[in-house]
Amino acid sequence: MRVKIFVVPASTTGRADQYQGVQIHRPFVYGTEAIPFDPANRPKNAPADHTHSWKVFVRGINVEDISYWLKKVQFKLHDTYPNSLRMIEGPPFEVEETGWGEFEIAIKFYFVPESTEKPQTIWHGLKLHPYGDDVEGKKERREMVKSICYEEVLFNEPVEQFYDVLTGGGTNQRGKASAKAGKASAKGVPTAEIPERVSKENVYSREQESRELDRLGAAIKTVEVQIVEEKKKLIEEETKLAELEKTEGRPLTKKK
Ligand code: SLL
């Protein structure tokens, strides 16, 4: 799923033609990480019924700074939490908490003012308990439970000043005039590039993507073979039925 950001069509704003139909996407990662308390070392301030420490976050892929398009993030926690609306005004966009239960977190994105975009909300389920394979083993080892998603925000026909921010055009121009901005541009023009390989900080890479595509390709082939086999079986059964009908006549349908 893509988080689609809709803006007013260019035709109604008189925006320059060159931005018509332009879409710019920016990747990001969001999710939760949770770990059960160490019984020998419970966090001191945690209420007695709490069992886990957890964190919810939004960050750039490959630890890229995304604050040039994302201004602030509001996390809406379960109503059982005091001050359940947590506004995070700048990076790192994250909330650390303790608790006992899983719930859906509403994550509201506020874009930089240049974007003129309205805030957008996505939801994410906080996971405290291990899932997938070897649940018992994971529990025993008190492994961290991660539930992390890759996502892309898609800006449709960004307004001119935001287009510059997104593509680094503005940064480069300022770079000529000021040493400070020059430093920013030396860091590199912002991109939506996904790194080639997995690293410690980032599991989303082209390498993984192509492995996933191979896996999907193989699965499609298996399903295609299964469909052919099932069709063959169906034809055999239908032939048998037709033969039986010839020799035995049609079966009587029971009255209800
Ligand atoms: C459940 N529907 O029943 C969920 C609700 C609530 C989670 C989970 C602690 C809040 C607090 C907390 O973990 N709330 O008392 O500080 O599982």
CA gap 159, 3 in Å, rounded: 18
pLDDT > 80? residue 87: yes
Mean pLDDT for all residues in the chain: 85
pLDDT > 90? residue 101: yes
pLDDT class of 169 with cuts at 50, 70, 90: low
pLDDT reported for residue 4: 52
pLDDT reported for residue 238: 95
Please indicate whether residue 184 or residue 148 has the higher confidence score (pLDDT): 148
Q: How far is the CA of 111 from the centre of ligand 1 (A)?
A: 30
Q: How far is the CA of 76 from the centre of ligand 1 (A)?
A: 13
Atom index in ligand 1 nearest the CA of residue 52 equals 13
pLDDT reported for residue 172: 40
CB of 78 sitting under 6 A from ligand 1:
yes
In tens, the pLDDT along 151-161 reads 999 999 899 89
pLDDT reported for residue 153: 93
pLDDT > 50? residue 180: no
Atom 17 (ligand 1): residue with closest C-alpha?
101
Name the residue of 103, 127, 128 to mutate for ligand 1: max ligand atoms within 8 A of Cβ.
103
Q: How far is the CA of 58 from the centre of ligand 1 (A)?
A: 22
CB of 51 sitting under 6 A from ligand 1:
no
Least reliable range by pLDDT among 19-23, 39-43, 64-68, 243-247: 19-23
Q: How far is the CA of 102 from the centre of ligand 1 (A)?
A: 6
Q: What is the mean pLDDT of the segment spanning 24-50?
A: 93
Q: What is the mean pLDDT of the segment spanning 170-186?
A: 39
pLDDT class of 63 with cuts at 50, 70, 90: confident
Atom 6 (ligand 1): residue with closest C-alpha?
101
pLDDT > 70? residue 5: no
pLDDT reported for residue 20: 74
pLDDT reported for residue 18: 62
CA gap 127, 227 in Å, rounded: 37
pLDDT > 70? residue 195: yes
Least reliable range by pLDDT among 112-116, 132-136, 174-178: 174-178
pLDDT > 70? residue 64: yes
Name the residue of 81, 84, 95 to mutate for ligand 1: max ligand atoms within 8 A of Cβ.
81
pLDDT reported for residue 71: 97
Q: How far is the CA of 77 from the centre of ligand 1 (A)?
A: 9
pLDDT > 50? residue 176: no
Q: What is the mean pLDDT of the segment spanning 126-144?
A: 95
CA gap 177, 165 in Å, rounded: 16
**pTM for this prediction:** 0.74
pLDDT > 50? residue 223: yes
Q: What is the mean pLDDT of the segment spanning 174-194?
A: 49
Name the residue of 52, 76, 80 to mutate for ligand 1: max ligand atoms within 8 A of Cβ.
80
Query: Strands of 70-76's sheet, edge to edge?
Result: 85-88, 70-76, 104-111, 120-125
Angle of the 160-167 helix axis to the 169-177 helix axis, nearest 10: 80
